[in-house]
Amino acid sequence: MHKQLDENYYRLLHDLQAADFVLVELTLYLDTHPEDAHALQQFNEFSQKRRQIALEYECLYGPLLQYGQNALPQQTWEWAETPWPWQV
């Protein structure tokens, strides 16, 4: 079974990838500059933004992960439905 994909689906995946990129870069920076309060503030803001994007994605299109902190309670097992986020 294939999920119905639309422009919003791809926008949310793009936004997740962008937020993940920023968070990885800020993590690397903070590893060497742990006293930079502005960078830490940015990290916290992007962490929250990423959580919001992931929640919106999962409410509309199903789970990003089959387990873990982002997994929402499910009435049906949607993880087996394709395409998975990394296949598009």
Percent of the chain with pLDDT over 90: 58
Distance CA 4, CA 34 (A): 43
Q: Which residues of 37-64 are buried (b: 16+ CB within 10 A; e: fewer)?
A: eebeebbeebeebbeebbeebbeebbbb
Rounded alpha-carbon distances, angstroms, from residue 84 to 9, 21, 45, 63, 66: 11, 20, 27, 9, 11
Residues counted in the chain: 88
Looking at per-residue pLDDT, the higher value among 85 and 12 belongs to 12
Residue whose structure tokens are 């995946």 = 13
pLDDT tens-digit readout, 43-86: 999 999 999 999 999 888 888 876 655 555 555 556 566 676 66
pLDDT tens-digit readout, 17-55: 999 999 999 999 999 999 999 999 999 999 999 999 999
